[in-house]
Chain A
Amino acid sequence: MWSEVTADPFPAEDWPSADEARHAATNGTVYRAESVHAPRRARKLIWEAREIGVPITDFEPKPADSASYRPDSIADGWSTDHFTVRVASVRGYTHRFRGTPRQDDVAVSHHQPTGAVVFAVADGVSAAPHSHIGATSACRAAVTQILADLTQGTPVDWQNVVRQTAWQLIEQARAVLGVPALDPEEAEREVATTLVAGLVLPTRSGPMAKMIQVGDSSAWILHGRSYRCLLDAKFSADDEVFSSAVTALPRVPHVTPRGGPLDPGGVLLVGTDGFGDPLGDGSGDVGTYFAAALRRPSPPLSFAYDLDFSRETFDDDRTLLAIWPRDDAEQPR
């Protein structure tokens, strides 16, 4: 029975001070709420992810240590007259194990006048402490800028999309740090992120896709069981061993938009390397699994559950956007 609280049931003097808490954290002392409330026998906590091959050790994730709320997973889905969209972003198992936030993010929006679906996918650079904020800012800034160009009826200025997004990132870093000015190098250290941004547009000759890439997130068209990579891959198959160097915002590299038709029966996939790495060229178990799972749109929560698959050594954040052209869509006149 709840009743009006007339005295503080948790007086401040009962709480560890900030110094005591810090001391406890470095000495392994744990303040155990569960010693009062939890059942005595430890419950078996299981995440029950879908397993593809040898799974990652099962464990219950830690909360994300972040000043602002950062959900473990997000899922979204909807259809327009021309397209069906599914999107999910899930925290990687290493971040769950360590209690760090998901550094991937995604934004996707419908531009009603043109029927375009506009999207951005970002992967915050792990070394940058606020890269999760950078990823979110970059996605929203890129989508906003593309929508603005579409609304004006002018061709999308892709280089300007990158420039505006980089500027927003620097502003965001300045706000996070609470400083009046910040140079791009400092901002890079705080909020660096990769980005793929683009759109699919219904045209008289069928749906067309166009996008730009900064860094190693990528895009594919899935036809049946075959994946065609549309953007630069992270690794070269000819390398004896792997190594990579990442370009990330707020650096402003010269970008060249890539594009082409999205045939009926094809699915456009845009994803971070948390999805791209286990997919590889699509010929392995992960490619086979998703070729079946993406044959037609699934409920958004199933889509997210599929993306959260467990496979040993693949423990990075994963983000995936899938866009199906609708069979029953009327073509614009």
Chain B
Amino acid sequence: MTGTRGNLLPVYVLADESGSMGPYIQDLNRGLAALHEALLGEPMAAAKVRFSILGFADDVHERLRLADLRRENELPALYARGRTSYHAAFTTLHRRIPQDVQALKAEGYAVHRPAVFFLSDGQPTDESWLDAYELLVDRNRTPGAPNIIACGIGQVEAATIVQVATQQEYGFVAMGGVDLGAAIAQFCTALTKSIVESGRALGSAQPELVVQQPAGFRMAIDVV
């Protein structure tokens, strides 16, 4: 390690923009705005995070890339559109993450393993997503292969969420009967806490990813 400019944790929100998210997409946008506001009150944790938002449906729309949230006036909005292609989502991340890690390292930063917060309300509409997923999380084949925290709401099956999460304790599904708008708000609250706590841990003696379970969610592995 050279004399570095600082420690950074790249965080990606990989959010489902499929048509079925239509009634709830404003809840997600409001939740992300609240996350932004909360991080402005935690300037030291925010300094250690570079934040990206990717919306996936038939394809992936990159809404925000490697942003320092202290310097953003507001976050871009997500929009409901199309189907639910997990393949597009994981293929895009596989292309993007190694580039991002290299770019940050070239700026002189020490880069910690990226964290992806995945939110979906439906089963994938494509068959071939598992190959793209396995390539993405394979630490031998993908430089900077991320930790993925997966949260499922609505129609998504717990078994799918277990497959997407890189560790069992990173997979959560909303409990039955929970209002989806409220579940999305809880997802954003847990995301905020996870980012703040991970940011605090970064640069300490024990840098680690801290994952907060969203209220109203249970571990997907317990549901399968």
Contact = CB atoms under 8 A, between A and B. Distances in A.
Nearest to B97: A241
Given A241-B101, A315-B44, A284 B2 contact: yes
Given A57-B44, A280-B4, A246 B206 contact: yes
- Candidate in A56, A97, A126, A241 with the most chain B CB atoms within 10 angstroms: A241
Contacts of A287: 3
A323 B23 CA distance: 66
Range of interface residues on A (Cβ < 8 Å): 35 or more
A65 interface: no
Contact of B111 (A127, A233, A237, A242): A242
A332 to B, nearest CB: 38
A273 B205 CA distance: 6
Contacts of B114: 241
Contact of B205 (A216, A241, A278): A216
A241 B8 CA distance: 10
B73 interface: no
Contact of A93 (B5, B44, B112, B205): B44
Given A56-B47, A281-B3, A287-B3, A315 B113 contact: no
Interface string A277-306: 111111111111000000000000000000
A8 interface: no
B3 A94 contact: no
Given A233-B1, A283-B2, A284-B2, A242 B205 contact: no
Interface in B194-208: 200-207
B3 A284 contact: yes
B2 A281 contact: yes
Contacts of B205: 123, 125-126, 194, 215-216, 246, 272-273, 316
B218 interface: no
A71 to B, nearest CB: 20
A316 B203 CA distance: 6
Contacts of B203: 94, 277, 313-316
A278 B204 CA distance: 11
B3 A282 contact: yes
B6 interface: yes
Contact of A242 (B48, B112, B201): B112
In this complex, the interface size class of chain B, counting residues with CB under 8 Å from chain A, is 20 to 34
Given A123-B205, A240-B144, A243-B112, A97 B44 contact: yes
Contacts of A56: 43-44, 47
Nearest to A281: B2
B143 interface: yes
Contacts of B3: 278-288
A126 B201 contact: yes
A31 interface: no
Given A240-B143, A285-B3, A94 B200 contact: yes
Given A242-B112, A242-B207, A313-B8, A235 B44 contact: no
Contacts of A312: 5-6, 47
Contacts of B5: 53-54, 284, 312-313
A246 B201 CA distance: 13
Contacts of A241: 101, 111-114, 143-144
B7 interface: yes
A311 interface: yes
Given A57-B43, A94-B44, A314-B6, A281 B1 contact: yes
B207 A244 contact: yes
B180 interface: no
A313 B6 contact: yes
Contact of A311 (B6, B101, B113, B200): B6
B1 A280 contact: yes
Interface of B: 1-8, 43-44, 47-48, 101, 108, 110-114, 143-144, 200-207
- A-B pairs, top 8 by smallest CB distance, nearest first, are A284-B3, A313-B6, A280-B3, A57-B43, A241-B113, A280-B1, A240-B143, A313-B48
6 contacts: A57-B43, A57-B47, A98-B200, A237-B1, A242-B7, A281-B1
